[in-house]
C-alpha cells in the first residue's frame, strides 16, 4: 500500500518534534518535510537524533510546500501563524491536520470556505488525546442530568491562548446537550474575573503553570452531590494516537471536520 506523505509545520517545537517521531515510527506514513520559523536550515535528523533522516527545516511558503507536495500537512504552530499555514496548504492541494489552538469560530468559517473552494478536506481538533475526547463526550452526557457546571483547564506556562480550545469545545458540547439554560443569579464580584470567563453561560477557569502539560476537569453540581470528570495529559506522546488517526483519516474525507470525536465511533 502506498504510504501517506506527511510534512509538519512547527516541526522544531516540542509538539512538532513529537509528531515527527510518531510519523517516522508509524507504518504507512512517510515524513517528507519539516517547516518552522525557528531552526530554519537545521537538519531535522540532527534535531531528532536520527542521522539517517535527510530533511532540512524550511520556512513554510507556497514554493517550499509545492517542492515536496505532501498529502498531509500537520500544523502545531501558533494562533498568529496557523491561518496562513492552512490557507497555503489548501492552495497547494495539501490537506491540513491542525492541532494549533486559538482558532475562533470566525476562523473556522474562513477555513470551511477555503476547504470548499479547494474541494479537499481538513481536520481541526482542539485536543488530539483520545481520553480528552471521551471526557468531552462524557461531559455532554452528564449535562442532561446536572443543572450546574464549571470547567477548570490547566496548561503549561508557555501556552499563549486562554481559555483552551478544549475548554471552549467542552462548553459548546455541554450547551448543545442541555435541555434548559441554567437559572440566572446575582453575584458580587470583589475582583474582576473572579468567576472566570463565560462561554455558553458556563464559567471557565484557566490556569497556567510550569510543570503542567494539559489537564481539564469538568465539575457538575446537583442536589446534594457533585460529579467531576477529569482528564490529564502527562506527556505529549498522549496526543500522538489521535494525530496518527487524523492523518490516516483526512485523505478519505470531504470538507472540514472539527473535533476528533467525529472520527471515532
Structural contact between residues 10 and 75, judged by C-beta atoms closer than 8 angstroms: yes
215 has catalytic annotation: no
Strands 95-98 and 121-124: parallel
185's CB contacts (< 8 A; 6+ apart) are: none
Whether the bond between 163 and the residue before it is cis, its omega within 30 degrees of 0, is: yes
155 has catalytic annotation: yes
Q: At what angle do helices 130-142 and 240-249 cross, to 10 degrees?
A: 90
Task: Specify the residue for cell string 488530539.
Answer: 128
User: What pairs with residue 5 in β-bridges?
Assistant: 30
Say which of 42, 110, 159, 248 is annotated catalytic: 159
Q: How far is CA 6 from CA 14, 32, 225, in A?
A: 18, 6, 48
* Cα–Cα distance for residue pair 242/22, rounded to 1 Å: 11
End-to-end Cα, the chain, rounded Å:
25
Could you give phi then psi for residue 229, rounded to 5 degrees?
-115, 120
* Cα–Cα distance for residue pair 39/97, rounded to 1 Å: 22
Say which of 155, 205, 215, 231 is annotated catalytic: 155
* Cα–Cα distance for residue pair 119/163, rounded to 1 Å: 32
Q: Active-site residues: which are they?
A: 155, 159
Amino acid at each position: 500500500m502506498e504510504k501517506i506523505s506527511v510534512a509538519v509545520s512547527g516541526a522544531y517545537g516540542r509538539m512538532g518534534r513529537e509528531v515527527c517521531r510518531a510519523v517516522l515510527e508509524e507504518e504507512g506514513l512517510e515524513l517528507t518535510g519539516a517547516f518552522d520559523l525557528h531552526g530554519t536550515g537545521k537538519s531535522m535528523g540532527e534535531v531528532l537524533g536520527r542521522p539517517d533522516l535527510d530533511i532540512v527545516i524550511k520556512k513554510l511558503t507556497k514554493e517550499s510546500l509545492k517542492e515536496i507536495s505532501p498529502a498531509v500537512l500537520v500544523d502545531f504552530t501558533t494562533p498568529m501563524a496557523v491561518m496562513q499555514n492552512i490557507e497555503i496548504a489548501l492552495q497547494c492541494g495539501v490537506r491540513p491536520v491542525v492541532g494549533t489552538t486559538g482558532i475562533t469560530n470566525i476562523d473556522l468559517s474562513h477555513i470551511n470556505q477555503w476547504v470548499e473552494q479547494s474541494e479537499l478536506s481538513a481536520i481541526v481538533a482542539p485536543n488530539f488525546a483520545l481520553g480528552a475526547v471521551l471526557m468531552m463526550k462524557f461531559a455532554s452526557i452528564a449535562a442532561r442530568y446536572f443543572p450546574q457546571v464549571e470547567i477548570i483547564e490547566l496548561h503549561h506556562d508557555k501556552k499563549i491562548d486562554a481559555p483552551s480550545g478544549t475548554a471552549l469545545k467542552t462548553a459548546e458540547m455541554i450547551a448543545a446537550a442541555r435541555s434548559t439554560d441554567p437559572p440566572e443569579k446575582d453575584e458580587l464580584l470583589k475582583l474582576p474575573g473572579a468567576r472566570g470567563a463565560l462561554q455558553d453561560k458556563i464559567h471557565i477557569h484557566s490556569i497556567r503553570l510550569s510543570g503542567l502539560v494539559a489537564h481539564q476537569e469538568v465539575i457538575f453540581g446537583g442536589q446534594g452531590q457533585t460529579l467531576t470528570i477529569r482528564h490529564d495529559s502527562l506527556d505529549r506522546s498522549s496526543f500522538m494516537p489521535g494525530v496518527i488517526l487524523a492523518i490516516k483519516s483526512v485523505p478519505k474525507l470531504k470538507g472540514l471536520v472539527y473535533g476528533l470525536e467525529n472520527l471515532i465511533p
